Amino acid sequence: MKTQLERHENMILRQENDKLRAENSVMKDALANPICNNCGGPAIPGQISLEEHQTRMENARLKDELNRICALANKFLGRPLSPLASPMALPPSNSGLELAIGRNGLGGSSNFGMPLPMGFDVGDGALGSSPAMSTMGARSPMGMMGNEIQLERSMLLDLALSAMNELIKMAQPDTSLWIKSSDGRNEVLNHDEYARLFSPYIGSKPAAGYVTEATRGTGVVSASSLGLVEILMDADQWSEMFSSMIASAATVEVLSSGTGGTRSGALQVMLAEVQLLSPLVPARQVSFLRFCKQHAEGLWAVVDVSVDIGRNVTNSHPLMSCRRLPSGCVIQDMPNGFSNITWVEHSQYDESVIHQLYRPLVSSGIGFGAQRWIATLLRQCDCLAILRSPQGPSEDPTAQAGRTNMMKLAQRMTECFCSGICASSACKWDILHIGNLADDMRIMARKIDDPTEAPGIVLSASTSVWMPVSRKRVFDFLRDENLRGEWDLLSKDGPMKEMLHIAKGQDRGNCVSILHSANSECNVLYLQESWSDASGSMVVYSPINMQALQMVMSCGDSSFVPLRPSGFAILPDGTSNNGDGSDGGGSCLLTVGLQMLPNGNHQSAKFTMESVDAVNNLISFTIQKVKDALGVA
């Protein structure tokens, strides 16, 4: 038995010995080809230097950082970016994506020879970071979060710099990027030259159904470059200056407020909805970066470029998805105090959501193009210049303040009228889907939430028609108080007199006025605003009582005056050779909008089909009366 036990123990020891020999063989193989757990390369002590080992560790860290950058690119630019792309597949120097590692990264220099601001503090919402934060970033979770924020901001800055570079090149007067259109009046983008100079980015080719539009315009405005830059970088002032174009605007985040106490270097993320005054064209909703930079004394540039901030708008209003390619303006001060401005608009939009009647206007670039921005800016700057100049040496300051107060009331009236036509997400209107309405008719309703008014519901109806009459002729007819009885039911078929006239431009048609019926049986007052420029015309009016008028002219609070605006928007049709109809020919697109109370009273908290039919019939009646007066069949 003792011999059997010894044999059994001997067998166990042999098995353990074989196992140890196998482990020893594996360890010898591992020692022959060691691999570093951190960098993945060979790690034989004595065969590679310490510097090479540190280089491989740095390479592994950079690979991890590249993966994070690619993930951020997918988030902000809306297209996949592979971290395994070869150097030959990387964008060239003029591309819009260098990921803040190339020539335009933080701490580098810009494309225009001006150094970027350094030493910003992330906590203050700026763009840079301190060395202490970059050291902490590799050691703690909070530091890693700070690194990701830093990467996002550096990517946004690089995108803004590349967009600025593109804008400057497209704004050059002698560039081959633009060619004359067939009629010789406008400029058209040379797409072949554009593709040669700029590599595609932020979406490159448009999606199915999307088309590209690009326009450029120039003008001289009565404002300084600093004043215009301040307006463009402030969302409230920007939307007020272009109130007929911008349905809503907001600054989502300010990444940098500028350097040296100026707006140069200011970078912010914004949301906006740009509208065309017709229910047949959805508002364009865009989220974009806005970057401002001073390139020389008296020379500024402001550029926009779309970014995806993951918005999720949930409302019943139809909106047109739009991607804003590098667009903006270059502003140059002139010795006489004016500014020479070059505006570039470049975007991609879904054409399928636009009504056939308005596609020629939009595709021509007149609807949302640079010429419309320039024309609106010229008109508004002329208006501000007139308001700031005294009307006479003996004018009462109270009278001047009253005129300004009346202008504010008229602006609120026009903004309310535009909101009743264009269904943007900022409006409180609900679109009514009624089966028996025509496709080109839109009816909306909203509750009255103003505490100064009785609770109730307001109906808004609008439609657009093509008119074989010039835009100038339609505008002159609608704004003429002597001809108002030919289409306005409230005037009792009689003319009206102008009690007050406040000029808003050199043209007499650009004004705010108070109209009173010349008929003794009709005791109605109208507040009316009318204007016309190269991009379109508008006539908006609202009933107003004498008590409210006296209160406004006495510098009272005009925000308490209730308004029910109605009016007309007159736009080119995009096909006529003479857009303004100055020679008597041409055609135009007429939009009619009305706002009224159901059953004509505040007590009605509900609307009925009779109310809908009434406002529908009123619009049809108004259009027919205008056509009859202008001799249109």
Kindly state whether residue 143 falls inside one of the protein's structural domains: no
- Give the SS3 label for residue 508: coil
Interior/surface letters 271-306, b for 16+ CB within 10 angstroms, e for the rest: bbbbbbbbbbbbbbbbbbbbbbbbbeeeebbbbbbb
Residues 413 and 336 in one domain: no
Complete edge-to-edge strand list for the sheet that includes strand 457-467? 430-431, 441-447, 457-467, 588-596, 566-572, 537-543, 525-532, 511-517, 496-503
Residues 332 and 479 in one domain: no
Residue 560 sits in which domain range? 398-630
Q: 565, 541 in Cβ contact below 8 A?
A: yes
Report d(CA 221, CA 388) in Å as an integer. 15
Residues 328 and 427 in one domain: no
Kindly state whether residue 70 falls inside one of the protein's structural domains: no
Report d(CA 330, CA 344) in Å as an integer. 9
Residues 585 and 448 in one domain: yes
Residues 184 and 277 in one domain: yes
**In sequence order, which ranges of 91-214 are alpha helices (DSSP H)?**
131-136, 141-171, 191-197
Kindly state whether residue 313 falls inside one of the protein's structural domains: no
Q: Which amino acid is at 437?
A: L
- Which parts of the chain sit beneath pLDDT 70? 34, 36-49, 71-151, 183-184, 200-208, 309-320, 390-398, 426, 435-437, 450-454, 492-493, 518-522, 576-585, 599-607
pLDDT at 356: 92
List residues bridging with 293 in a β-sheet.
Answer: 301
Kindly state whether residue 44 falls inside one of the protein's structural domains: no
- Tell me the backbone φ, ψ of residue 218, rounded to 5 degrees: -130, 155
Q: Which of 350, 368, 386 is the last residue of a domain?
A: 368
HSE, side-chain direction, 13 A CA sphere, residue 212: 15
Q: 297 is written with which tokens?
A: 């004394």
Residues 413 and 545 in one domain: yes
pTM for the full model?
0.75
Give the end-to-end CA distance of the chain in Å, rounded to a whole number: 127
Kindly state whether residue 188 falls inside one of the protein's structural domains: yes
Nearest to 380 by CA among 237, 189, 574, 279: 237
Kindly state whether residue 30 falls inside one of the protein's structural domains: no
Domain of residue 221, CATH code: 3.30.530.20
Q: 320, 356 in Cβ contact below 8 A?
A: no
Q: 263 is written with which tokens?
A: 């707006």
Report d(CA 329, CA 217) in Å as an integer. 9
Distance of CA 512 to the CA centre of its chain: 28
Residues 421 and 551 in one domain: yes
Nearest to 501 by CA among 491, 511, 492: 511
Kindly state whether residue 341 falls inside one of the protein's structural domains: yes
* Domains in the chain, number: 2
Residues 218 and 303 in one domain: yes
Residue written as tokens 């510098």?
555
Nearest to 93 by CA among 153, 152, 156, 158: 158
How far is CA 204 from each of CA 140, 181, 201, rounded to the nearest angstrom?
A: 38, 24, 5
The DSSP annotation for 364-409 comes to: TTTTTSHHHHHHHHHHHHHHHHHHHS-S-TT--HHHHHHHHHHHHH
Kindly state whether residue 72 falls inside one of the protein's structural domains: no
Q: 569 is written with which tokens?
A: 């928007």
pLDDT at 489: 81
Nearest to 104 by CA among 291, 306, 304, 346: 291
Residues 263 and 409 in one domain: no
Residues 337 and 446 in one domain: no
Q: Which amino acid is at 203?
A: G
Nearest to 210 by CA among 351, 20, 378: 351
Residues 328 and 407 in one domain: no
Residues 412 and 550 in one domain: yes
CB atoms within 10 A of CB 312: 4
